[in-house]
Structure 1
Amino acid sequence: MGVVVAPRLSTVVRRLPLGLVVLAGREALDRPVRWVAVSELEDPTPFLEGGELVLTTGMRLDARNAGPYVGRLVARGVAGLGFGVGLGHETIPEALVEAATRAGLPLVEVPRDTPFVAIGKAVSELIAAEHYDELSRAFAAQGRLTRAALRPEGPRAVIDRLARELGGWAILLDEAGAVRHLAGRGAAEAAGDLGPELERLRRITSGGAPASVALSSPEEHVIVRPLGARRVRGFLAVGIGRSFTPVAHTVVNAAASLLTLAVEHGGEHLAAERRVRSAVLRLLLAGQVEAGCETLERLGERLDGEPLVAVACAGDPEVVLEAAGGEFAAADGDRVVLLVAASRAGAVAAALGEHGPVGVGAPAGLGDLRAGLDQADRALASARRGTARVVRFADLAGQGLLSLLDPGAAEAFSRALLAPLREYGSRADLLGSLRAYLDCNGHWDAAAQRLGVHRHTLRYRMRRVAELVGRDLEDPAVRAELWVALAVAR
């Protein structure tokens, strides 16, 4: 709730029925009175919190202890001292008046006909009235902020209204800390100093707990709050030249709630647009180019000419989609797919490489996007396995046939095809003989010489290989399959 709303001591003194008279400390009558405490103790401070109007009849006060008594009250931070006359003292002791004057402590004479309880009631009524006025001001400000939020400019209008309500400045920032809108004197200068506080807020809120940062200096008081229900989607920063009152805190909280609704509602629209883009991607890959482009145009977008390059990125979908900027991007399966003009593909892929492995296909027309995405996926698979963050299909193709194969499928194929040769019980090394035969392109003499055996021995072994694998080694396709199986095994 914040500090208790309190009336000024001057307001309490002016209450006509009480008949209070100020004898010292008139210059400090603007102090807030947070409660009334009645005590006849020589040292009541252990029972005080500060901000009270202390009432006493001075039963234990005299010229000897008046100075220390006033000193203890001042050190405790009381609002003032009310002295009831007509009981223990017909008048307030002069030593007490002098001590209060020296210390600047408001000293008020309470007539005998004014009960202390009447002063307590008056202060309680004033606190209630101040609290009601505070609530009224807060509700009125909330109403004005809500009406601003309903205007076409929405969040911008809320920021403008908030700066006027506080008499200071207000800034709306996006998730990355970029200024979306600002209002109020000094806002532009303050925006450049918020970076460290935004980073601090990101660390504080990383566990999901809501938090805010408050900064104070003699010249300015600042509050920075994150915006968003499930995750941080932006920030609100406000600054004024005085301490934030409970009303000001209430106004800031109301503005933050309205802005959170706005950014979350905008997030729902963004999610819907992303679902449409995923549908457009499926249409394009299915060859329904006209339908896909027409759907995209309904979003106010279009594919930027031909040829296009398919880019597949395996980073966090939320992060990658944000990083895509104005490029066509859609989440699909376990990666995000972008369709980028060929002239920008290199720069886009390099930027996305900071967020995860990236595969880049070859340039393709709208009708060939399926093949382009297949290439990007093959390149992405290589990027996931290797150390390079960005892999282009053109570079991958230059690394040989094996780099284009799925590693798991190729290994399973190799094990199954070569299993009979590994299990062959003879001392003859059929795998080594087959490898030499294929490396020598089927030349018997060259292969036999490499193995150090007679060519008839090699012919015998190849007949055993053909029988065990059930393949005709004279068939070029069979020899290619066996070469791939041996290369994978190696």
Structure 2
Amino acid sequence: MPEPSAPPPTPPVSLAALLADGSLGLRLIAGLPDAPTDRVAVHWVHTSEMADPYPYLLGGELLLTAGVQLTDAHAETYVRRVVEAGAAALGFGVAPVYDTVPDSLVEACDRHGLPLLEIPRRTPFTTVARGVWRLMAEARHRELRRVTEAQQGLAAAAARPDPVPAVLRQLAVRLGGRAVLFAPDGAELHATGRDPAPGCRTALARLARVVNPPGATSPPTSATDTVGGARLAAYALGGGQGLVLGVAAGGREAGDHTVTGVAVVLLSLLTAPHQGAAEAARSAALVRLLLGATPTEAAALLGPGPWTVVHAHGGDTPFAASALAAALGSALAETDGATVRVLTDRPVTGQAGWTLGVSAPAGPAGLAEADTQAERALRHAEATRADLVRHREPGSDALTALVPPEEAAAHARARLAPIAGSPALAETLRTWLSLHGSWDRTAVALRVHRNTVRQRIARCASLLEADLDEADVRMDLWFALRRL
């Protein structure tokens, strides 16, 4: 049956809702032997006693008639024309012309699959029309409430530290299906929700390429499709990044298009590049560095500091780095795909789903050393299965404070001179001692095999001419390593 070409702004009423309204007393007598009545949508009501109402129907109507001009010979043609016009259903009043619905009309409606409703004597056509408008008003109220709640949920998701995945999750929940953000090359950047029908993922990826085809100058901004009863849609996001939002839902509810439209706007804003005051300062600092300025000169544009460097592992989305940076109160973040590094002037606290290594606060001149501190702290955190490990500065305990720094540094250089030319040996010894001589934890922290750790420690013992099983020796070496 054709869809109405210009549906009204109010949501349709299902035929099942009309039949369930006891005050109307409507009865389905033909046209839908097996199909569910909740899939028949009534968009409006029209009354006509013309022999051929086709020219006056828009589609989607519940057409009401008392059969003033209906005859048995004419029933087949009448029903065929009503179906061709796209009417949703036919309501037949058993008074005042007919006492019962004509058999010829019942048979014709069964042949053409047109739902036929019997309207009892006690129900005027105006009462049926008023019942439809009342149900439409109730449906409109439900739609507005659903859209309002969805807008609030999407807005709250956009304010989270991980706004893009959060908005996609909220959209998938509201639509009861799947939401996907596609990269310009068609790869899934993030996906959430359930597939409403088999084959949805492949079809949705194909639909995304329709709105973002390679080399196209003016592609469509949206596209729709159906697969296995599921409704698919793809929307090109604004911002010039070539991103596409794909959604798949098992059915279509009033307000779905509005809800999805809100998500499209939010995702376009969240994924678009911005050049605010903070971004301008970062750009200026980068330009200064590229033009030969020192880190100290460039850092002055970012804020007074001091700064803390954070190394982190975790997160499972392409937006994880920016989400972590936002949670730590910074926009200065980068990732090599495995480790996220964040530079922040705020206090650092643990973050769910992340393992963090945190440096000591440093000024611009000390950021390189702070980066090394954060790297070591992260390795220690992973080896000890801690969520967060902070670097501790040498001299933070009372014992080391008893030795003058110059003498401590000289002792460290002399004691560790045999391995000074091998950073791998020095770092392995430092990590091994910090983890109380654990081979397995050291291997995890350094990301090497435990046999490699054993070989390096044995080499250190040989070069240093030290028995590393002795507690005094370990303490002496640890003291020296902390002064390097």
Query: TM-score of the superposition, structure 2-length normalised?
Result: 0.53
Matched, 1:9 2:15: yes
- Rounded to whole Å, the distance in 2 between the matches of 1:101 and 1:245 is 28
- Give 1:60 deviation, angstroms: 0.9
Counterpart of 2:81, as a letter, is R
Matches within 5 A, 1:334-345: none
Structure 1 Cα separation of the partners of residues 79 and 207 of structure 2:
46
How has the CA–CA distance of structure 1 residues 177 and 92 changed in structure 2, closer, same or farther, with 3 Å as cutoff?
closer
1:48–1:76 CA contact under 8 A, matched in 2:
yes
Aligned match of 2:268: 260
Could you say if the C-alpha distance between residues 78 and 290 of structure 1 is closer, same or farther in structure 2, counting changes exceeding 3 Å?
A: closer
Give the whole-Å Cα distance in 2 for the aligned partners of 1:104 and 1:173: 41
Deviation of the 1:217 alpha carbon: 3.0
Q: What amino acid is the match of 2:61? A: E
> Which AA in structure 2 matches 1:217?
V
- Partners of 2:111 and 2:29 in 1: how far apart? 12
Which aligned pairs between 1:137-156 and structure 2 lie closer than 5 A? Answer: 137-156=146-165
Q: CA deviation at 1:295?
A: 6.2
Instruction: State the partner residue of 1:60.
Output: 69
**Number of the residue aligned with 1:224:** 234
Using the alignment, how far apart are the partners of 2:102 and 2:295 within structure 1?
A: 99
Cα distance in structure 1, aligned partners of 2:203 and 2:29? 52
Secondary structure of the residue aligned to 1:224 is: strand
Partner of 1:159: 168
From 100, 106, 126, the counterpart of 1:97: 106
| Structure 2 residue aligned with 1:215 | 225
Quick one: distance in 1 between partners of 2:41 and 2:246?
Answer: 29
1:38 aligns with 2:47: yes
SS of residue paired to 2:68: coil
Shift of residue 220 of structure 1? 4.3
Q: Which residue of 2 aligns with 1:24?
A: 30
Point out the structure with max Rg over C-alpha: 1
The answer as to whether partners of 1:227 and 1:256 remain within 8 angstroms in 2 is yes
1:99 counterpart SS class: helix
In the aligned structure 1, how far is the partner of 2:23 from the partner of 2:289?
Answer: 79
Aligned residues: 299
Unpaired stretches in structure 2, ≥5 consecutive residues: 1-5, 310-333, 337-484
Give the letter aligned to residue 201 of structure 1.
N
SS at structure 2 position matched to 1:135: helix
Shift of 1:265: 6.2
List aligned pairs for 1:326-475, cutoff 5 A: none
Q: Alpha-carbon deviations, 1:456-486, whole Å to 9, x = none? A: xxxxxxxxxxxxxxxxxxxxxxxxxxxxxxx
The equivalent residue for 1:278 is 287
- Over 3 Å counting, the alpha-carbon distance change for 1:16 and 1:177 in structure 2 is closer
- Structure 2 counterparts to residues 56-205 of structure 1, below 5 A: 56-174=65-183, 177-185=186-194, 190=201, 194=205, 197-198=208-209, 200-201=211-212
Inter-CA distance 278–87: structure 2 relative to 1 (3 Å threshold): same
3-state SS of the aligned residue for 2:236?
Answer: strand
C-alpha displacement of 1:283? 5.4
What SS does the corresponding residue of 2:221 show, helix, strand or coil? coil
SS in 1 for 2:70: coil
Residues 261 and 193 (structure 1 numbering): CA distance in 2 closer, same or farther, change over 3 Å?
closer
5-14 vs 25-34, which moves further? 25-34
More helix by share: 1
Aligned-partner residue type, residue 47 of structure 2: V
Structure 1 unpaired stretches of 5+ = 302-323, 327-490
**What letter corresponds to residue 125 of structure 2 in structure 1?**
F
Q: CA deviation at 1:120?
A: 1.2
Distance 1:94 1:194 in 2: 51
Conserved in 1, the CA contact under 8 Å of 2:183 and 2:189? yes
Cα RMSD after superposing both structures: 3.8
- After superposition, the Cα gap between the structure-2 partners of 1:224 and 1:107, relative to the gap in structure 1 and judged at 3 Å, is closer
Change (3 A) 1:184 1:43: same
Residue 300 (structure 2) pairs with residue 291 (structure 1): no
Deviations 1:26-70 (A, max 9, x none): 545331111111111111112112221111111111222122222
Give 1:152 shift: 1.3
Question: What is the alpha-carbon distance in structure 1 between the residues aligned to residue 203 and residue 104 of structure 2?
Answer: 57
Deviation of 1:216 after TM superposition, in Å, equals: 3.1
| % identity of equivalent residues | 33
CA offsets per residue over residues 308-339 of structure 1, 9 Å max, x none? Answer: xxxxxxxxxxxxxxxx998xxxxxxxxxxxxx
CA displacement at 1:84 relative to structure 2: 1.9
Q: Give 1:378's aligned residue.
A: none
Q: How has the CA–CA distance of structure 1 residues 175 and 91 changed in structure 2, closer, same or farther, with 3 Å as cutoff?
A: closer
